[in-house]
């Protein structure tokens, strides 16, 4: 038993590092020494970098196979992705948390009070949420997946509330919390139905049970309903229709650095959870044998699940882009943009197998860099001590802040998918994966929506670079700290540099998408029937 447990514990080394760091920064945040409190972002970044190193040292094929994971090498790519973007998100947050309190203490207006500071708690919750996102890669069963998803979500509710000051933060946190609780109830009920259908909580056993059902009369109705509820519940995490409506209010009400966090971390966690669930349902992992003894790959999702994902993708892309077109608030526009990008990513879920999964994770990497660049620009400037949230504030930004104006333009060009930016390659890989899965109509919808998105992304680029400065924009100043500025430059340049290594990144994502070894014995099909396309037995080899 000890030998079986050892690989599982070794693979948790990155999460252990982040957990220890979370405890450490929570304690350090109570220090009366200003230098200690100011070092919290640095400690957080060191912990995240150490977790990346730990993944490289511990996540070997041998350890992953011994841990009996559904997708053994998933964490090899996803954990460094989460931690790497996490470092950039830390830079975006520097100078914003506890800013008013620290300025008051520095000027002697009031004495330091450990009960009034939240910087330590903020970075502790920051690390705990990232820990939850990483733990999803280690999930072996539905219970672990549920706990990991909740560890991602619960800290974000508090981060929205304490990340800034004012009633809008609390209002956004309350909306986010109650809608998040509703989504949790939905997918948890779905988990219960899946358990009721398969008699197991373990992913490998659920996969085998679904394969056996598919070999017979097909996956039963209870399981289908459970999977649908799981998909709908996770739509909240990935900001997809019909659970997307909280995003504009929460993104606008939350501090900019928290909005940047919400745009990437819960989305990545949600898509990882969906990939695990859908891998159990179909795609790959078994071999079926027909009455003539011919081996047939077990791949593909049930028709009902594919149809629901198809509808969610179309509605999410369309409503996200149309909503973004109507906004005058930059953060609300980026919120609807986040919704639209979830629609593009669902193309990879429908494509499935390795091509779709690797395309999803490559696009998540691209999206993390692109959207963080936009939020970093907003976090690096202010007007009369308040956050930037209006397009009118960005007019003529090139005059006083030319670098930030260009970084905003680069991120907008990449988000719309123009070559040679990373966003272009991300969409190309997604579209190719969907095209190879015979989803021609869905690819057409995605291309049309990408064209629509060019209208509002063009505005995000033109207003800072071309529009004449206004009275409001003349009052724009930089934050005292330069770290958000540095994050914006890194991400903006990254949209141009990352395509150079796109092939290497895709290869790495492809390796992470490889499933666990198939059943040692094939499942024999009934002699009176053959696998029906779309019912868990579509032959991918025919593509």
pLDDT of residue 4: 59
User: 523-524 and 286-289 as β-strands: parallel, antiparallel, unpaired?
Assistant: parallel
* Residue 532 binned pLDDT confidence (cut-offs 50, 70, 90): very low
pLDDT at 1 over 70: no
State mean pLDDT over 270-287.
80
Reference 163, options 107, 247, 92, 110; nearest CA is 92
Q: Categorize the per-residue pLDDT at 540 as very low, low, confident or very high, splitting at 50, 70 and 90.
A: very low
State yes or no: cis peptide before 82, omega within 30 of 0.
no
* Total domains present in the chain: 1
CB-based contact 266:85 (threshold 8 Å): no
Q: Quick one: what percent of the chain has pLDDT higher than 70?
A: 90
> For 172-195, what is each residue's pLDDT tens digit?
888 899 989 999 999 999 999 999
The span from the CA of 334 to the CA of 337, in Å, is 5
CA distance 145 to 38: 35
Structure tokens at 395: 């007019």
The Cβ of residue 483 has, within 10 Å, a number of other Cβ atoms equal to 20
Mean pLDDT of the chain: 87
Q: Which strands sit side by side in the sheet containing 476-478, from one edge to the other?
A: 386-387, 381-383, 476-478
Q: What is the largest CA-CA distance in the chain?
A: 86
Which domain covers residue 66, as residue numbers? 2-542
Find the length of the chain: 543
Task: Tell whether the model's pLDDT for residue 122 goes beyond 80.
Answer: yes
Name, in order, each residue with C-beta under 8 angstroms of 534's C-beta and a sequence gap of 6 or more: 300, 301, 302, 303, 306
Alpha helix (H) residue ranges in 466-525: 483-497, 502-512
User: Do residues 282 and 299 touch, judged by C-beta distance below 8 A?
Assistant: yes
**55 pLDDT higher than 90:** yes
Angular region, 4: left φ>0, alpha ψ -120 to 50, beta rest: alpha
> Which among 144, 137, 180, 151 is positioned nearest to 275, based on CA atoms?
137
């Amino acid at each position: 038993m000890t030998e079986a447990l050892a690989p599982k514990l070794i693979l948790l080394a990155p999460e252990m590092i982040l957990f220890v760091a979370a405890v450490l920064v929570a304690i350090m945040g109570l220090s009366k020494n200003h230098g200690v409190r100011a070092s919290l972002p640095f400690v957080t970044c060191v912990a995240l970098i150490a977790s990346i190193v730990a993944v490289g040292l511990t996540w070997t094929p041998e350890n992953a196979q011994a841990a009996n994971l559904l997708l053994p090498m998933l964490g090899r790519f996803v954990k460094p992705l989460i931690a790497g973007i996490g470092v950039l998100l830390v830079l975006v947050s520097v100078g914003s948390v506890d800013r008013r309190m620290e300025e008051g203490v520095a000027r002697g207006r009031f004495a330091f009070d450990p009960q009034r500071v939240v910087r330590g708690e903020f970075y502790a919750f920051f690390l705990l949420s990232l820990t939850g996102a990483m733990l999803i890669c280690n999930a072996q069963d539905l219970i672990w997946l549920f706990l990991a998803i909740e560890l991602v979500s619960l800290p974000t509710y508090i981060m929205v509330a304490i990340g800034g000051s004012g009633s809008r933060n609390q209002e956004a946190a309350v909306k986010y919390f109650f809608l998040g609780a509703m989504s949790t109830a939905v997918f948890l009920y779905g988990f219960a139905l899946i358990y009721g259908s398969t008699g197991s909580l373990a992913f490998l056993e659920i996969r085998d049970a679904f394969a056996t059902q598919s070999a017979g009369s097909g996956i039963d109705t209870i399981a289908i309903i459970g999977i649908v509820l799981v998909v709908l519940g996770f739509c909240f995490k990935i900001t997809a229709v019909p659970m997307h409506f909280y995003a504009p209010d929460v993104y606008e009400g939350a501090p900019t650095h928290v909005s940047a966090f919400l745009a990437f971390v819960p989305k990545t966690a949600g898509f990882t959870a969906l990939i695990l669930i859908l891998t159990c349902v179909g795609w790959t992992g078994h071999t079926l044998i027909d009455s003539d003894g011919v081996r047939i790959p077990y791949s593909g999702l049930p028709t009902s699940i594919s149809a629901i994902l198809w509808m969610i993708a179309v509605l999410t892309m369309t409503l996200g882009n149309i909503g973004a077109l109507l906004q005058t608030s930059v953060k609300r526009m980026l919120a609807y943009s986040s919704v639209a990008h979830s629609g593009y990513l669902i193309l990879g879920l429908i494509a499935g197998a390795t091509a779709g999964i690797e395309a999803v994770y490559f696009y998540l990497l691209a999206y993390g860099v692109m959207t963080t660049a936009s939020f970093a620009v907003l976090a690096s400037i202010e007007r009369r001590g308040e956050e930037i949230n209006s397009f009118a504030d960005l007019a003529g930004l090139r005059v006083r802040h030319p670098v930030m104006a260009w970084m905003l333009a680069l991120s907008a060009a990449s988000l719309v998918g123009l070559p040679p930016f990373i966003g272009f390659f991300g969409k190309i890989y997604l579209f190719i994966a969907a095209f190879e899965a015979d989803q021609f109509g869905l690819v057409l919808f995605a291309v049309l929506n990408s064209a629509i998105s060019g209208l509002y992304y063009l505005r995000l680029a033109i207003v800072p670079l071309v529009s004449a400065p206004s009275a409001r924009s003349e009052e724009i100043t930089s934050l005292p700290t330069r770290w958000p500025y540095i994050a914006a430059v890194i991400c903006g340049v990254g949209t141009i540099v990352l395509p150079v290594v796109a092939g290497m990144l895709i290869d790495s994502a492809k390796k992470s998408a490889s499933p666990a070894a198939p059943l040692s014995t094939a499942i024999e099909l009934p002699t009176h029937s053959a696998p029906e396309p779309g019912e868990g037995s579509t032959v991918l080899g025919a593509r």
